[in-house]
Amino acid sequence: SSSIGDKLENETSQDIHTDRENLNDNTNKKPTVTFLKYPNDTISEEQIQKTIADTSKFYATYKRLTPEDVEQMKKETEERTEKINEYLKLNKLIAIKVNANCPNNTIIFWFEPTVDFIKELPERYRASMLREMSTTEKTKNISSNEENSFLQEKTQTGCQYSDICRASSGAVLETNVFPNPANESIKLKFILNEQRKCTFSLHDLNGVYIQQLSGETSFLKGEHTTTMDIHDVKAGVYLLSMATDQNERIVQRVIVKK
């Protein structure tokens, strides 16, 4: 709170200025903790103070959220998740496996396949990876009329290094996993061009089955989002598999963070 007034000096928001005025009472410039109370919360400031007991090491402020505040916070959280998801571009990351000197210890580094990164690879990997990245770029520009034929071409060609080619298959036109990294639950958004019965499962990076995430469920043609519980899954990198009753399968790389 020692510098928050300076940082907000040019802000015009009335809420921000109100919060800044509250901080003027913090004459000792202690760390500030703000307790946000939802519209339906009945707990009082006195009850909160009794719960946290000793406040000698920080300055506590309280704010009652309006329904509009809650909706805005939810929207900002979703937008932030999408931005992080886009930034990570997880399925494009390339794994470099390093065997440590200690027995049974292996380190895996994940790299974004930039031009500079590919240039540093041995020649035997460089050419095929450049072709793969070129295929990835083409998927962004194909028209809807070309989509099915191109997906067939992708399936035949395959991707050796990234999961891009496994993000679509047959009637499954597009998939996206979020949030990624995930903790308690994870969502899979996908688009079908035909009705399908789908199952979802989790595997390790070697493809070994770990657990079923959802039983067989019927989905109509169109866009869908399904939520899966992963609260009991240990931290790590996994493969999320979606399989259809027509033997189509997509695989997305996911990170579970605890």
pLDDT digits (tens, 9 = 90+) for 50-100: 777 676 777 778 888 899 988 998 888 887 766 655 544 555 667 676 666
pLDDT digits (tens, 9 = 90+) for 133-175: 654 444 444 333 433 333 333 333 344 444 444 556 778 887 8
Select the more confidently predicted residue: 217 or 48. Answer: 217
CATH architecture of 90-256: Sandwich (2.60)
**124 residue type, one letter:** R
**The token pair that represents 61 in the structure block:** 């402020």
254 pLDDT exceeds 60? yes
Q: Tell me, what DSSP letter sits at residue 93?
A: -
What stretch(es) of the chain map to CATH 2.60.40.2550? Answer: 90-256
Which class for 199: exposed (0-12), middle (13-18), buried (19 or more C-beta within 10 A)? middle
As beta bridge partners, residue 225 has 189
Torsions phi, psi of 127, nearest 5?
Answer: -65, -45
**The token pair that represents 185 in the structure block:** 């639950």
Torsions phi, psi of 235, nearest 5?
Answer: -60, 140
DSSP-derived secondary structure for 160-188: SSSSGGGS-BTTEEEEEEESSSBSSEEEE
pLDDT at 230: 94
Dihedral angle, C-alpha 236, 247, 193, 218, nearest 10 °: -80
* Half-sphere exposure in the Cβ direction for 255 (13 Å, CA): 13
Select the more confidently predicted residue: 181 or 53. Answer: 181
Sign, Cα dihedral of 116, 121, 127, 130 = negative
d(CA 67, CA 82): 23
d(CA 198, CA 189): 13
What is the β-pairing status of strands 32-37 and 59-64?
parallel
Q: 3-state class of 54 per DSSP?
A: coil
* pTM of the entire predicted model: 0.43
